[in-house]
Amino acid sequence: MILPNPPPRLRPTIGAPREPHPRASIPFGPPEPHARRKPASRRPHPQHLAKLAEIAIRLEVARAAIWQAAWASDHPDAFADRSLPDLPLTTIAAAFASEAIYRAAKDAAECFGAMGVMRDMPLQQYVHDALVCLHSGAGNTDAKLRIAEALARYRRPASAAVLAAE
């Protein structure tokens, strides 16, 4: 059954829609006072700048360690004339660089906030890859043990398998 004249509240509106309530655009009420004091600029936060500076320092030190290890591998006579320390520089560079890479990716994700953990953003993959790099190969714990042995001038005894092969 169709009503010939529907009541006014059931009639479709023709023309402009009704004006929204003044507070309808603020779903949870007016902003808090501390939110109003926040600058509306796109400048980076000072704490983020400090983290970015730490990232840059770590990565530059890791790069310098890698270059020194590469130079030392090309110039073995530098160990003989004592211009380089008698330490496993490649192990030191690999251990420090993998930790620096992981810390840089993790700090960058912290600066990004929630965008740093979303799976469809590339930063989440960078953090995952840095974590894999940190635990790849023999691992940093084994590398640090080899560095400590070199510092203490400890030589591991030959294993039985090596002796049997000879």
Task: Provide the CATH number for the domain around residue 80.
Answer: 1.20.140.10
pLDDT at site 34:
47
pLDDT at site 127:
87
Would 36 be classed as within a structural domain?
no
Q: What is the pLDDT along the chain (166 residues), one digit of tens a residue?
A: 565 665 655 555 555 555 555 554 544 445 555 444 455 556 667 777 888 899 999 999 999 999 999 998 888 888 888 888 888 888 899 999 999 999 999 988 888 776 666 777 788 888 888 888 888 877 787 888 888 888 888 887 876 665 566 5
User: Could you list the residue range(s) of the whole structural domain that residue 83 is in?
Assistant: 46-154
Would 27 be classed as within a structural domain?
no
pLDDT at site 158:
72
Would 159 be classed as within a structural domain?
no
Environment class of residue 123 by beta-carbon count within 10 Å: exposed (0-12), middle (13-18) or buried (19+)?
Answer: middle
Environment class of residue 87 by beta-carbon count within 10 Å: exposed (0-12), middle (13-18) or buried (19+)?
Answer: middle
Vertex 66, ends 69 and 74: CA angle to 5°? 35
Buried b (16+ CB within 10 A) or exposed e, 124-148: bebbeebeebbeeeeebeebeebbe
pLDDT at site 54:
93
Would 92 be classed as within a structural domain?
yes
- Extract the tokens encoding 141: 């714990």
Residue in this structure with the two tokens 């059954």, named with its chain if needed: 1
Number of independent structural domains in the chain = 1
pLDDT at site 36:
46
Would 114 be classed as within a structural domain?
yes
Would 109 be classed as within a structural domain?
yes
CB neighbours of 21 closer than 8 A, spacing ≥ 6?
A: none
Distances (CA, A) of 63 to 35, 58, 84, 157: 41, 9, 17, 34
pLDDT at site 35:
43
Among the listed residues 55, 40, 43, the one whose alpha carbon sits nearest the alpha carbon of residue 107 = 55
